[in-house]
Amino acid sequence: MKKNQNSEILFNEALSFIPGGVNSPVRSFKAVSSNPRYIKKAYGAYIEDEDNNKYIDYISSFGPLILGHANVEIKNAAIDALEKGTTYGACHKGEIKIAKLISRLMPSMEMVRLTNSGTEATMSAIRLARGFTNKDKIVKFEGCYHGHADHLLVSAGSGLSTFGEPSSPGVPKDFTKHTLVAEYNNIKNVEEIFNKYKNKIAAIIIEPVPANMGLIYPKEGFLKKIKKICDENNCLLIFDEVITGFRLCLGGAESFYGIKPDLSCIGKIIGGGFPVGAFGGRKDVMGKMSPSGDIYQAGTLSGNPVAVAAGIKTLELLIEKSSEIYLNLNNKAKKLKTLIEDNHKKGIHINQLGSMLTIFFTDKEPTNFNDVNNCNLKNHGKFFQTILDNGIMFPPSQYETIFISDSHTNEDIERTAEICNKALNKIL
């Protein structure tokens, strides 16, 4: 690989004008003791930086690019929309079309409200749940990320459940005192919380398949038990499918696991690479949203015509290719997992589901956030830097997930496995 002189120059310049030099913390590469590479173009499964280094990309913009970078049909759909205007601040028929597509593919989302990001979607869904149930408290799970809204930036204390303690300065404790934190995959812990706060909990919000502490599997029956607890306590179940929606399968985790949440939050893939989010669910609940009801939510650019056009085309392509694309994605991800695991029986554990996978630097399967925190983060940092220098771009954190796209070829997978195995041979 060539030197990274141009990226270093750009990063040093950015540090003078942008906090930390980045517009989202994980991009800083700080978690892997490195500096970011500045990307100048992307196509298919590849990205190129300002020093003309080429990488096989597995970040996929952290999930949206299931069909790869710069897909021609999605790009043309966006260009066609752009020629009619950048934004209207008014209704357009594309909003109806994408809402109908989402409702058809994810039946729990009987009505849909578009937003500009996943964070907007989750914070709006929680406000709606509180307003609908007339209760204040919510339950989230440690290690599940639902955006950077104040009441969701919390982590558990030393006990298994606690009042949420802010994870960031600038978040008053009063904002998080109604957020209760449970341990993922620990149903007994959830039951204890509901027994302690009887008739006070408005909703459980959960990543059905966590992908923000690396990829973690839900234990068998865990999600069904969560749904049962919600139903028994007049509490809404909110699935955060910003990552898993249309990636795990065409109908998301609700289809994959056969569970119908009361509300769902989605994003990423439904924008085709443009900023977007959405939340939706039962008609009786969504009907409480302004202007139909009195629970307020708004957004100047919500339903942006360019993002909607790209999202519609993405969903249409996934529908058209659904009989083969998800099988192919799973097979490629499984191939990468197998090619690495067959050569390394100790020191790593790989979780893989559909087109998502994470290499954990540990000997046992992580099942919750505490397990992930006990992984060897130093080895992960060494591994990341080694494969990066050899043309493989993985997410720059142990807590992120690798994404396979339809553009990755079998040759890409084999090349990636070869480089990963060489790196692991040096580290483990």
**Closest C-alpha among 421, 366, 424, 423 to residue 399:** 366
Query: 190 — phi, psi (to 5°)?
Result: -65, -45
Cβ-Cβ contacts under 8 Å for 370 (sequence gap 6 or more)? 142, 183
Q: Indicate the pairing of strand 39-43 with strand 46-49.
A: antiparallel
Number of domains in the chain: 2
Burial group, residue 300, by CB count within 10 angstroms (0-12, 13-18, 19+): exposed
Domain boundary among 280, 315, 350: 315
| Nearest by Cα to 101 from 322, 320, 315, 326 | 315
What CA–CA distance (Å, rounded) separates 210 from 304?
28
Q: What is the pTM of this model?
A: 0.94
Would you state the structure tokens that stand for residue 63, as one six-digit string? 């999930």
- pLDDT, tens only, 139-182: 999 999 898 776 676 653 323 334 445 566 776 777 778 899 99
User: Can you give the pLDDT at residue 1?
Assistant: 54
| Same domain flag for 305 and 376 | no
Q: Which residues contact 411 (CB under 8 A, 6 or more apart)?
A: none
Could you tell me the CATH number of the domain that includes residue 41? 3.90.1150.10
Question: Containing domain of residue 290, as a range?
Answer: 72-315
Confidence of residue 245 (pLDDT cuts 50, 70, 90): very high
Burial (CB < 10 A; 0-12, 13-18, 19+), residue 146, is buried
> Any catalytic annotation for residue 145?
yes
Told to judge if 240 belongs to the known catalytic residues of this protein, a careful annotator would answer yes
The mean pLDDT of the chain is: 93
Q: Which of 287, 315, 343 is the last residue of a domain?
A: 315
pLDDT at res. 31: 86
* Options 240, 262, 406, 412, the catalytic residue: 240
pLDDT per position as a tens digit, 287-320: 999 999 999 999 999 999 999 999 999 999 999 9
- Of 46, 55, 58, 145, the catalytic one is 145
- Measured from the Cβ of residue 262, the count of other Cβ atoms closer than 10 Å reads 25
Burial class (CB in 10 A: 0-12, 13-18, 19+), 195: exposed
Average pLDDT over residues 22-46: 92
The verdict on 206 and 97 lying in the same domain is yes
DSSP helix/strand/coil, 232: helix
User: Would you state the pLDDT for residue 168?
Assistant: 66
Instruction: Let me know: does 93 contact 102? Beta carbons within 8 Å.
Output: no
- State yes or no: is 49 an active-site residue: no
Alpha-carbon torsion angle 152, 157, 356, 359, nearest 10? 150
**What letter would DSSP give residue 36?**
P
Confidence class of residue 28 from pLDDT cuts 50, 70 and 90?
A: confident
* Domain shared by 43 and 87, yes or no: no
Q: Would you place residue 393 in the very low, low, confident or very high pLDDT band (cuts 50, 70, 90)?
A: very high
Question: What's the rounded mean pLDDT across residues 130-142?
Answer: 96
Domain's final residue, options 315, 338, 360 = 315
